[in-house]
């Protein structure tokens, strides 16, 4: 059984650019949640996708958007990058939308300069 995989592992972007982060969910899981973890902080919920539709969203602006594909993999897109977007972006997959005992992927470290 494969776990949650994320790509890329590290990324450096310039302020104002756009970025796409990718996540492959664990086998058998149909839900993907995305979290942002700034340095020294706990992860913050961005949004969740279930059956290819956004199922809930945290307090993030519309320039954070996502997709889920028929194979349940997912993308997180961030437009007009700001310096404060520098963080570890974590993807978690689950079977169903509730619960919360998620298994996280290894994350993507995004640095905006």
Partner 1 sequence: QKEVEQNSGPLSVPEGAIASLNCTYSDRGSQSFFWYRQYSGKSPELIMFIYSNGDKEDGRFTAQLNKASQYVSLLIRDSQPSDSATYLCAVNAGAGSYQLTFGKGTKLSVIP
How crowded is residue 108: how many other Cβ atoms within 10 Å of its Cβ?
A: 21
> Is residue 5 involved in binding partner 1 (CB under 8 A)?
no
Q: Which of residues 16-75 bind partner 1 (CB under 8 A)?
A: 31, 33, 35, 40-45, 48, 50, 55-56, 58
Quick check: 99 binds partner 1 (CB under 8 A)? yes
Q: Is 83 helix (H, G, I), strand (E, B) or coil?
A: helix
Residue whose pair of structure tokens reads 């437009």 in the numeric block: 79
Tokens representing residue 90 in the block: 């974590």
Q: Which tokens sit at 73?
A: 């993999």
Report if residue 7 touches partner 1, rule: CB under 8 A: no
Sole binder of partner 1 in the list 64, 105, 110, 112 (CB under 8 A): 105
């Amino acid at each position: 059984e494969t776990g949650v995989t994320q790509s890329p592992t590290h990324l450096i972007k310039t302020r104002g650019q756009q970025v796409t982060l990718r996540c492959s969910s664990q086998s058998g899981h149909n839900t993907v949640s995305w979290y942002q973890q700034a340095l020294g902080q706990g992860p913050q919920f961005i949004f969740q996708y279930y059956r290819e539709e956004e199922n809930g969203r945290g307090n993030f602006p519309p320039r954070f958007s996502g997709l889920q594909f028929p194979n349940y993999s997912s993308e997180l897109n961030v437009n007009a990058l700001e310096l404060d977007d520098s963080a570890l972006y974590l993807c978690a997959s689950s079977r169903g939308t509730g619960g919360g005992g998620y298994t996280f992927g290894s994350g993507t470290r995004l640095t905006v300069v």
